[in-house]
Amino acid sequence: MYSQPVSKLNDAAIKLLEGKNLLYIGTINRDGTPQITPVWVDTDGTHVLVNTAIGRVKQKNVTRDPRVTLAINTPTDFYDVGLIRGRVVEQVTGPQADKHIDKLAKKYIGKDVYPWRNEKEKRVILKILPERVLSK
């Protein structure tokens, strides 16, 4: 049974975001079509945090149109789902974004340092403020 939609992260959504679960982020392409990407995810308790590289499709899309739709579930219970609509309210680059991708590497693959780091890429944290949250 799902709770009534709320405008901020609730305990069930935070639990999903803090778990070792993939998040699917939907952004809007320039031509209006949807674009969806599975990503590692984190939260600060208020925002959903997605780390990507500057220039990737999702980053370009949210720079132009900050609206996103997010879906997350646990691999052991596909009905334990969190659905979030929100907006990217900030893009954080520099050392903070580099440290954050290392934190996600530790969470998801047990590595202290993100192993696919590309010196040509600049990492960026997409800070997403939820506007509508639906979860169990």
The pTM of this model reads 0.94
pLDDT digits (tens, 9 = 90+) for 13-36: 999 999 999 999 999 999 999 999
What pLDDT is attached to residue 113? 96
What pLDDT is attached to residue 5? 67
Count of CA atoms in the C-beta half-sphere (13 A) of 1: 2
DSSP assigned state of 65:
-
What pLDDT is attached to residue 38? 97
Give residue limits of the domains in the chain. Answer: 11-135
What pLDDT is attached to residue 4? 65
Task: Judge: domain 11-135, CATH 2.30.110.10.
Answer: yes
Whole-number Å distance between alpha carbons of 57 and 37: 9
Which residues of the chain fall below pLDDT 70? 1-5
What pLDDT is attached to residue 7? 83
